[in-house]
Amino acid sequence: MITFIKNSIILLLVLILLGLGFIYSGLYPIGADKQHNPLTFWALETLRIKSIARASKDIKVPPLTDPKLLLSGGADYNDMCSGCHLKPGQKESDMTIGLYPKPINLTLSLQEQGHAFDQKNADDLDKIARQQFWIIKHGIMASGMAAFGPTHDDDRIWAMVAFLQKLPELNELQYQILTARQ
Amino acid sequence: MFKKLSITLTGAMLMFTVSAVNAHSPEMHKKENAERPNCQAMANMDHSKMDMNDPIMMAMMQQCMGNGTNNDGHNNGHNNGHNNGHNGEHKDMNNGHGDMHKNSDGHNNMKHTQ
């Protein structure tokens, strides 16, 4: 038994040393024009999905139906988000081509964005709203998604969430009118 | 040494945060990005096909009502058309506004119809 524990500790130390050696070797390709290997991709995606789900689960979603929210949230979206997450009628931008992971096209429907989503289920909509709020407020490490919490209060962030819920339905003219700052 | 470094870093982060909050107020954005809403193009739409209870339409109406230069014709037309059912009046509102489609790229039909 003692031999087994001793061997396990040695194996663990060797693995840690190999891991550190790999990190310090600089061999991992870090350029955004290369893709992660499937294992790293799976690990980071799972980490992101589970972390956001856990961190956002207790957030209370306020009513998001006031049309005024679309004006406040729309203007902020246009200024801060549209470069990466696009506008109606736009298929790509320098940022969507150059960033890795590629930013989600938020002008697409929730299903097209890859959400497991049932339109009749209010809990699904609530969950997506909670997660969008959390992501806008806190950002996502090493993804290009900035945290807007330090510079924008919760009301402005919820207004952006309200706008995001309507964005897939907007045409170019509706978008222009809603997002212009007067 | 570590304490000094921590205080310096915390101070620097605090100063950055305070300056960033000031820099991103809506007023600051207004000066940087003063594009006006294209409310004249909205006035050219067929209002009989619009759902006035749709939040998107309501927000557009609010936006254009707050826009002193472009909204007069639109709002008058809206009230006439929907309160009295004279949809034909909307088309007359656009006479003399030949440039109103400049920014809409021909996308003047609303997706949200009744």
Q: What is the pLDDT of residue B107?
A: 40
CA within 13 Å, CB half, B74: 24
Q: Where are the alpha helices (DSSP H) in chain A?
A: 2-25, 38-56, 67-80, 82-85, 94-98, 122-138, 154-166, 172-179
Q: What is the ipTM of this complex?
A: 0.80
Question: Are B85 and B102 in contact, with CB atoms under 8 Å apart?
Answer: no
pLDDT band at A46 (very low <50, low <70, confident <90, very high): very high
Shortest distance, CA B62 to any CA of chain A (angstroms) = 8
User: What does the mean pLDDT of chain A come to?
Assistant: 94
Q: Among A72-86, B3-17, B51-65, which is the least confidently predicted range?
A: B3-17
For A83-114, b/e burial (b = at least 16 CB within 10 A) is ebbbbbeeeebeebeeeebebbbbbeebeeee
Mutate to test the interface with A, among B107, B109, B110, B113 (most CBs of A within 10 A): B107
Helix (H) or strand (E) holding A121: none
Q: What is the pLDDT of residue B41?
A: 85
pLDDT band at B105 (very low <50, low <70, confident <90, very high): very low
Q: What is the pLDDT of residue A71?
A: 95
pLDDT band at B48 (very low <50, low <70, confident <90, very high): confident
pLDDT digit string, tens, across residues B35-46: 789 888 887 777
- A150 to B105: CB separation less than 8 angstroms, yes or no: no
pLDDT higher than 70, residue B1: no
- B37 to A79: CB separation less than 8 angstroms, yes or no: no
A43, amino acid identity: A
Chain B contacts to A (CB-CB under 8 A): 17, 20-21, 23-24, 26, 29-30, 32-39, 41-42, 55-56, 58-60, 62-64, 66-67, 103-105, 107-112
How far apart (Å, rounded) are the C-alpha atoms in residues A102 and A96?
6
> Which residues in chain B are contacts of A156 at CB distance < 8 A?
26
Q: What is the pLDDT of residue A116?
A: 72
Q: What is the pLDDT of residue B80?
A: 38
pLDDT digit string, tens, across residues A125-171: 899 999 999 999 999 999 999 999 999 999 999 999 999 999 999 99
Residues whose CB falls within 8 Å of the CB of residue A32, separated by 6 or more in sequence, listed in order: A98, A99, A100
Residues whose CB falls within 8 Å of the CB of residue B8, separated by 6 or more in sequence, listed in order: none
Q: B18 vs A110, which has greater pLDDT?
A: A110
How far apart (Å, rounded) are the C-alpha atoms in residues A36 and A28?
9
Of B35, B64, B111, the CB nearest to A171: B111
pLDDT digit string, tens, across residues A101-122: 999 999 999 888 887 767 677 7
Q: What's the predicted TM-score (pTM) here? A: 0.71
CB count in 10 Å sphere of residue A25: 8
pLDDT digit string, tens, across residues A77-98: 999 999 999 999 999 999 999 9
Q: Please tell me which residue of chain B has the smallest CA distance to A68.
A: B59
Shortest distance, CA B92 to any CA of chain A (angstroms) = 21
Candidates A140, A150, A156, A79; CA nearest to B19 is A150
How far apart (Å, rounded) are the C-alpha atoms in residues A109 and B54?
18
Average pLDDT over residues B34-63: 84
How far apart (Å, rounded) are the C-alpha atoms in residues A162 and A69?
6
How far apart (Å, rounded) are the C-alpha atoms in residues B72 and B79?
11
Mutate to test the interface with A, among B14, B22, B24 (most CBs of A within 10 A): B24
